Amino acid sequence: MQKSRLHSSRFRRFLRSLYTYKGLLLMMLPAIVFFAVFRYAPMYGVTVAFKDFKVKKGILGSPWADPATKYFIRMFNNPSFMRAFRNTLAISILKIVFTFPAPIIFAIMLNEVRNSAFKKTIQTVTYLPHFMSWIVVAGLMRVLLSPVDGVINDIIAAFGGTKIRFLMEPKWFRPLVVLSSLWKNVGWGSIVYLAALTGIDPQLYEAADIDGASGMQKILNVTLPCIFPTISIMFILRIGDIMSGGFDQIVNLYNSLTYSVGDILDTYAYRVGLVDFDYSLSTALSLFKNVIGLIMVLITNYVTKKLGQEGVY
């Protein structure tokens, strides 16, 4: 009795707060509707992966697949899927190994520069590629790497080498993916570390100077330990993103000759779904990718909290 009255008074207070702050709620309404329609409604659409989807019948009207996991069984038995899964992991890991440390090194190098005009210029130039789309970057690469009139092949030829058809050779695909990621993101990625570097107490460097530390020793014993928290957070975030190999980049760089090493889950799901119109299989692929991705994010967030850092989310 007592409890229910308490409850009802709390409920009434809640209703009154709804009324008092209806302005705030009304303000949020467009965003609430947007998220309901364009973010939550497609989540229901994942049921397509468990149905024999017919365009004419729609999602609700299409019959359930028999068995419900029919498309997942097809997926796991499909060599193209296994290939895409392997490629996704391989490209992601290659990118982490090479493009993760690069912005850190770059930030430390920039931080050593004393002339601020020079530093500013380098920053402006190296941040620029971040704003180019992958279509532009891929287009530039095609011009530079062309076996006919590309400057890279001209340099190879000038040193007596034979010209390479870079974008058609499977063995060059992954190196090019890594190099182009470096080109596009090394500058932009360094911003976070530069911010961390400016936060280091200069007294630490003075103390190191008094102890007679060389420039390299200062970097190893003062700089790196001071920015280590930032590095570990960024690393964990990157690991959480391991299932995306970079759709925009890959889809603009690969072609049928390089599918064997370049086709990732996202590009494969795209071709299955919107080129071959196998909606159910494509949805199953996306769902598989998203669930693994979600698990990775949850694990990495848990690890961040365990390490004593504030959780990322």
Looking at residues 229 to 288 of the shown chain, list those that interact with other proteins (rule: CB under 8 A). 247-248, 252, 255-257, 269-270, 273-274, 279, 282-283, 286-287
Among 3, 23, 79, 308, binds other proteins (CB under 8 A): 23
Residues with Cβ < 8 Å from 242, sequence gap 6 or more?
89, 92, 93, 96, 293, 296
Region of 69-77, 79-87, 111-119, 169-177 interacting with other proteins (CB under 8 A): 111-119
CB of 212 to other proteins, least distance (A): 10
* Separation CA 231–CA 242 (nearest Å): 17
User: Within positions 164 to 223, which residues make up the interface with other proteins, using CB under 8 A?
Assistant: 165, 167-168, 183, 186-188, 191-192, 195, 202, 205-206, 209, 214-216
Site string for other proteins, 123-162 (x = CB under 8 A): -xxxxxx-xxx-xx-xxxxxxx-xxxxxx-xxx-------
CB of 266 to other proteins, least distance (A): 8
Is the CB of 4 or the CB of 256 nearer to other proteins? Answer: 256
* Separation CA 108–CA 231 (nearest Å): 12
Amino acid code (one letter) for 279: Y
CB of 1 to other proteins, least distance (A): 27
CB of 218 to other proteins, least distance (A): 10
Q: Nearest CA to 240 among 177, 313, 186?
A: 313
CB of 131 to other proteins, least distance (A): 5
Region of 4-12, 75-83, 92-100, 104-112 interacting with other proteins (CB under 8 A): 104-112
Angle, alpha carbons 284-238-297 (nearest 5°)? 50
Q: Which residue has the tokens 């107490």?
A: 201
Among 6, 9, 10, 34, binds other proteins (CB under 8 A): 34
CB of 199 to other proteins, least distance (A): 11
Q: Which residue has the tokens 């992958």?
A: 134
Asked if residue 83 binds other proteins (CB under 8 A), the reply is no
Q: Is 161 exposed, middle or buried (0-12, 13-18, 19+ CB in 10 A)?
A: exposed
Torsions phi, psi of 64, nearest 5?
-65, 145
Residues with Cβ < 8 Å from 192, sequence gap 6 or more?
103, 230, 234
